[in-house]
Amino acid sequence: MRKERMPAPIRLRELIRTIRTARTQAEEREMIQKECAAIRSSFREEDNTYRCRNVAKLLYMHMLGYPAHFGQLECLKLIASQKFTDKRIGYLGAMLLLDERQDVHLLMTNCIKNDLNHSTQYVQGLALCTLGCMGSSEMCRDLAGEVEKLLKTSNSYLRKKAALCAVHVIRKVPELMEMFLPATKNLLNEKNHGVLHTSVVLLTEMCERSPDMLAHFRKLVPQLVRILKNLIMSGYSPEHDVSGISDPFLQVRILRLLRILGRNDDDSSEAMNDILAQVATNTETSKNVGNAILYETVLTIMDIKSESGLRVLAINILGRFLLNNDKNIRYVALTSLLKTVQTDHNAVQRHRSTIVDCLKDLDVSIKRRAMELSFALVNGNNVRGMMKELLYFLDSCEPEFKADCASGIFLAAEKYAPSKRWHIDTIMRVLTTAGSYVRDDAVPNLIQLITNSVEMHAYTVQRLYKAILGDYSQQPLVQVASWCIGEYGDLLVSGQCEEEEPIQVTEDEVLDILESVLISNMSASVTRGYALTAIMKLSTRFTCTVNRIKKVVSIYGSSIDVELQQRAVEYNALFKKYDHMRPALLERMPVMEKATTNGPTEIVQTNGETEPAVLETKPPPTGLQPTSQANDLLDLLGGNDITPVIPTAPTSKPASAGGELLDLLGDLNITGSPVSAPAPAPQISQPPFLLDGLSSQPLFNDIAAGIPSITAYSKNGLKIDFTFERSNTNPSVTVITIQASNSTELDMTDFVFQAAVPKTFQLQLLSPSSSVIPAFNSGTITQVIKVLNPQKQQLRMRIKLTYNHKGSAMQDLAEVNNFPPQSWQ
């Protein structure tokens, strides 16, 4: 077979030129494919002369996005070649194509080892660079010894590269760090800046990784301080000068190493105090380079144990940064202030107005930081002004911020609201400006807040009504508004608002809007639920439109939305069979005691005004005689002087999974026959009110109000303690918090707590924190019980405990008789 002599492959630059003439992607692809084919044949020919040229071209095409894996082995051949040109391209190719994920990566090891010992420093340099950029752990292990040797050479060109190579080795194989320790001995004595810089990097890496190394290298602090001082004081050095500053890169790395060494160490911190002050006050701030050094200095000052004067100096530098025209400088200032706002709060407060100005910045990253910082700075003194700015920000900011901003405003308003009216207005403002960005979990919180602001009910419902009249697309807003209208619709139509001009609105108009919400395609399923329930509630608050309400409710009894359908069916049932219960079931929500997140000193005074305890509750239901049907709990209690938790009635309704009414009416026997046989009582966790959307929150009040706690039960390692709180607004209510703990060595799982009280009491059990009590007293289950005791009788309780322990099912009954008098008198 006659072998044709191949023409010389085209030169690299010529190929580049040719490819750039391609007018379309397709044309380019064609050229590339043609050239790749040529290169492949050339590789097959094992041509040494042009291998370098071909690999270079391949690397170019690789950068354009084309596959180049078939060149991997060729790179290895180039590396093994004696020609420097070959090695240069070979190593470049290796760094681009032969990372540690490639099978042939390790084949480089021997070549690199040889080249590390080459007589030409530039060849050694290539090998060090390749190893130090992308050597795998295995390769690093194999060659660490060579690197360590080179770290001790007097050739500064090689020494600096060896130092960074060592850094890479340590990052890949941390256990090898120790072996480099001896070589670090005189690293800082070097005059060569390259070596100094890389040495500082190496020392930093070692100190960050090992507390022992850190302790060992602390003695270098004086030397580092001296080097830094020389850099600052030295005259102009053209080689290292950047805008009048000598070697800013080295200065910054030294500052960083000082930070690590000075952290948590008084002596080291003191030793660097002066130089830090010097750098902080003398560095030129007109250019970025000076500010880069100042920035690093500030970070160091804030992180070590510096004197307060130095810290204030640092914060003031950041404050000045905030005023800089350069947005990059403003950006870093905000980032740093965000980090220090907790620890140096007062110092940062001084720059509050500048920070607030940054809310108007055009850069998104700056705006975000300014927003976070602003929230961190809100307190009781500045809340009005700050909220004004933040509400304005909420109005105008990008959508990506709105959710966080809304949440932040709610939180700050809750903590620092100067008045109830202001609080409601702020909530309204957020709901109307960013109503669709408000987080879902904000809705129940807001409802609770509104419930508790009793004298603002008329105002709130009026404002909410007006807000959704024009636009009912913002779901959280509509949900809150629907709930309020359902709850306070009577105040709305009777025009009771005092805070502003009461509007004239009829019952029909109110129902119109709620029905529009129901019908609208924009309304989420949850929102529809709110609207329907609101309509239902109005049946006890409105007088003229009950028939209309009945009609609406009956229509939705056949809605395809299962949630809606279920509700409608239950409400229908209320109209038909349980009409006598309707008023009680739908009565006004009582004030809920809110969980406070701060310590005991900050409980009730979240609002500036004292709360007049005006509860518009209707008198407790009297028409609810317990039937002679035994509630499941009766079985628990076994006696007839004990009242069931909730009155029951038989029904032929199909059972469904939860739906408040079913729970309200107790456990229903599916077959409809009277419940007489004992049956295991499930946890009754739903409160006996229609709590649409309200999550049952644990009602912890940090002030125990001096009522002593009791241990209600203690047996077999299970201990249950009761702590008591009395309601400020309703003296018949006692809130008991139970804490169950387990001192045995195995967890108690599936724990269920049940309770029953005498006839004259009423009980409400909220959801427990969990169903597992961990062993060794390492955690507890908490649960809240509310007891209504209008006749102020002595409190007694029977409890039933069931749980699994050590593989068996446990059960126990007990009576609690040791309630302290303060808990019920």
2, 23, 44, 101: which one binds another protein (CB under 8 A): 101
Contact 754, 800 (CB under 8 A): yes
Return the residues of window 586-645 that contact another protein according to CB under 8 A. Answer: none
DSSP string, 652-687: -SPP-S--HHHHHT-PPPTT-S---S--PPPP--S-
Return the residues of window 344-373 that contact another protein according to CB under 8 A. Answer: 362-366
197, 528, 537, 567: which one binds another protein (CB under 8 A): 197
Shortest Cβ distance from residue 384 to another protein (Å)?
Answer: 31
Residue 193 in the binding site for another protein (CB under 8 A): yes
Shortest Cβ distance from residue 4 to another protein (Å)?
Answer: 24
Strand partners, 801: 753, 812
* Contacting range for another protein; rule: CB under 8 A; set: 194-202, 218-226, 691-699, 754-762: 194-202
Residue among 198 and 306 whose Cβ is closer to another protein: 198
Q: What angle do CA 791, 794, 799 make, to 5 degrees?
A: 115
Shortest Cβ distance from residue 528 to another protein (Å)?
Answer: 39
158, 201, 430, 591: which one binds another protein (CB under 8 A): 201
Shortest Cβ distance from residue 378 to another protein (Å)?
Answer: 24
Residue among 127 and 712 whose Cβ is closer to another protein: 127
| Gap between the terminal Cα atoms of the chain | 114
Shortest Cβ distance from residue 402 to another protein (Å)?
Answer: 18
Residue among 96 and 624 whose Cβ is closer to another protein: 96
Of the candidates 433, 459, 449, the residue with the CA atom closest to the CA atom of residue 589: 449
Return the residues of window 16-75 that contact another protein according to CB under 8 A. Answer: 16-17, 20, 52-53, 56, 59-60, 63-65
Residue 216 in the binding site for another protein (CB under 8 A): no
Residue among 330 and 594 whose Cβ is closer to another protein: 330
- Report how far residue 766's alpha carbon sits from residue 623's, in angstroms, rounded to the nearest whole number: 25
- Report how far residue 262's alpha carbon sits from residue 204's, in angstroms, rounded to the nearest whole number: 12
Contact 440, 430 (CB under 8 A): no
User: What are the residues whose beta carbons fall under 8 Å from the beta carbon of 92, sequence distance 6 or more?
Assistant: 59
Residue among 362 and 560 whose Cβ is closer to another protein: 362
198, 448, 462, 789: which one binds another protein (CB under 8 A): 198
Site string for another protein, 753-782 (x = CB under 8 A): ------------------------------
Shortest Cβ distance from residue 186 to another protein (Å)?
Answer: 19
210, 596, 728, 732: which one binds another protein (CB under 8 A): 210
Q: Which residues of 405-425 are buried (b: 16+ CB within 10 A; e: fewer)?
A: bbbbbbebbbbbbbebbbbbb
Q: Which phi and psi angles does 811 have, rounded to 5°? A: -155, 140
Shortest Cβ distance from residue 312 to another protein (Å)?
Answer: 22
User: What are the residues whose beta carbons fall under 8 Å from the beta carbon of 96, sequence distance 6 or more?
Assistant: 59, 62, 68
- Report how far residue 762's alpha carbon sits from residue 352's, in angstroms, rounded to the nearest whole number: 52
User: What are the residues whose beta carbons fall under 8 Å from the beta carbon of 477, sequence distance 6 or more?
Assistant: 431, 432, 435, 436, 438, 464, 467, 468
Shortest Cβ distance from residue 332 to another protein (Å)?
Answer: 6
Shortest Cβ distance from residue 269 to another protein (Å)?
Answer: 17
Q: What H or E segment, with its residue span, contains residue 722?
A: strand 718-726
Residue among 217 and 530 whose Cβ is closer to another protein: 217
Return the residues of window 301-330 that contact another protein according to CB under 8 A. Answer: 327-330
Residue 700 CA, distance from chain mean position: 24
Shortest Cβ distance from residue 482 to another protein (Å)?
Answer: 38
Alpha helices in 546-656 (DSSP H): 546-555, 562-576, 582-585, 632-637
Shortest Cβ distance from residue 178 to another protein (Å)?
Answer: 13
- Report how far residue 604's alpha carbon sits from residue 208's, in angstroms, rounded to the nearest whole number: 47
* Contacting range for another protein; rule: CB under 8 A; set: 153-161, 471-479, 512-520, 521-529: 153-161
* Contacting range for another protein; rule: CB under 8 A; set: 32-40, 163-171, 590-598, 652-660: 163-171
* Contacting range for another protein; rule: CB under 8 A; set: 124-132, 389-397, 559-567, 796-804: 124-132
Residue 467 in the binding site for another protein (CB under 8 A): no
27, 30, 45, 99: which one binds another protein (CB under 8 A): 99
* Contacting range for another protein; rule: CB under 8 A; set: 269-277, 289-297, 624-632, 663-671: 289-297
- Report how far residue 786's alpha carbon sits from residue 401's, in angstroms, rounded to the nearest whole number: 40
Using alpha carbons only, how large is the chain's radius of gyration in Å? 38
The amino acid that residue 14 corresponds to is E
The amino acid that residue 816 corresponds to is V
Number of other residues whose CB lies within 10 A of the CB of residue 647: 18
Contact 613, 729 (CB under 8 A): yes
Residue among 198 and 701 whose Cβ is closer to another protein: 198
The amino acid that residue 753 corresponds to is F
Contact 465, 510 (CB under 8 A): yes
The interaxial angle of helices 420-434 and 475-493, nearest 10 deg, is 130
Shortest Cβ distance from residue 306 to another protein (Å)?
Answer: 18
Residue among 10 and 603 whose Cβ is closer to another protein: 10
Shortest Cβ distance from residue 82 to another protein (Å)?
Answer: 10
Shortest Cβ distance from residue 32 to another protein (Å)?
Answer: 15
Return the residues of window 78-97 that contact another protein according to CB under 8 A. Answer: 83-85, 88-89, 92
Contact 484, 464 (CB under 8 A): yes
Contact 560, 520 (CB under 8 A): no
Number of other residues whose CB lies within 10 A of the CB of residue 351: 21
Tokens for 318? Answer: 């950041």
Count of residues binding another protein (CB under 8 A)? 79
36, 127, 203, 248: which one binds another protein (CB under 8 A): 248
Shortest Cβ distance from residue 106 to another protein (Å)?
Answer: 14
58, 258, 292, 645: which one binds another protein (CB under 8 A): 292
Q: Which residues of 353-374 are buried (b: 16+ CB within 10 A; e: fewer)?
A: ebbbebbebeeeebbbbbbbbb
Residue among 291 and 460 whose Cβ is closer to another protein: 291
Shortest Cβ distance from residue 373 to another protein (Å)?
Answer: 15
- Burial of residue 81 (number of CB atoms within 10 Å: 0-12, 13-18, 19+): middle
Residue 150 in the binding site for another protein (CB under 8 A): no
Q: What is the dihedral of CA 39, 44, 46, 52, to 10 degrees?
A: 20
Mark residue 361 as left, alpha or beta (left: phi above 0; alpha: psi -120 to 50; beta: remaining). Answer: beta
* Contacting range for another protein; rule: CB under 8 A; set: 236-244, 346-354, 418-426, 742-750: 236-244
- Report how far residue 617's alpha carbon sits from residue 624's, in angstroms, rounded to the nearest whole number: 17
Residue among 154 and 543 whose Cβ is closer to another protein: 154
Return the residues of window 374-413 that contact another protein according to CB under 8 A. Answer: none
Residue 242 in the binding site for another protein (CB under 8 A): yes
* Contacting range for another protein; rule: CB under 8 A; set: 215-223, 290-298, 521-529, 693-701: 290-298
Return the residues of window 410-449 that contact another protein according to CB under 8 A. Answer: none
- Report how far residue 19's alpha carbon sits from residue 29's, in angstroms, rounded to the nearest whole number: 9
Residue among 208 and 395 whose Cβ is closer to another protein: 208
Residue 122 in the binding site for another protein (CB under 8 A): yes
Residue 141 in the binding site for another protein (CB under 8 A): no
75, 112, 214, 225: which one binds another protein (CB under 8 A): 214
Residue among 53 and 423 whose Cβ is closer to another protein: 53
Shortest Cβ distance from residue 15 to another protein (Å)?
Answer: 10
